[in-house]
Amino acid sequence: MKNRLKEFREIFKLTQEQLGELVGVSRQAINSIETEKFEPSIWLAYDISKVFNCSIEDIFLFEDSERKSRSQQSRGVI
């Protein structure tokens, strides 16, 4: 899933470690989200959006994702 996490983090002058501490995950987890190696749970995405006082959709760009959603996969959508 594409995201703007690094952009938001830099605007707020937070390190990966500082953001991780605010939302209860490691610096490595924040790095993995930023580099699109890991997709956060809805709860983690919510917590991240609250740090930046914005909506989840402002940070996580669902429409740009090439990965099929689980519902699409179960329906056989290509």
Q: Could you read off the pLDDT of 7-17 as tens digits, one per residue?
A: 999 999 999 99
**CATH at 41:** 1.10.260.40
pLDDT, one tens digit per residue, over 31-53 is 999 999 999 999 999 999 999 99
* Residues 2-37: b if buried by 16+ CB within 10 A, e if exposed: ebebeebbeeeebebeebbeebebeeebbbbbbeee
Residue 64 confidence class, pLDDT cut points 50, 70, 90: very low
How many domains does one find in the chain?
A: 1
Domain hosting 66: range is 2-75
Model-level pTM? 0.79
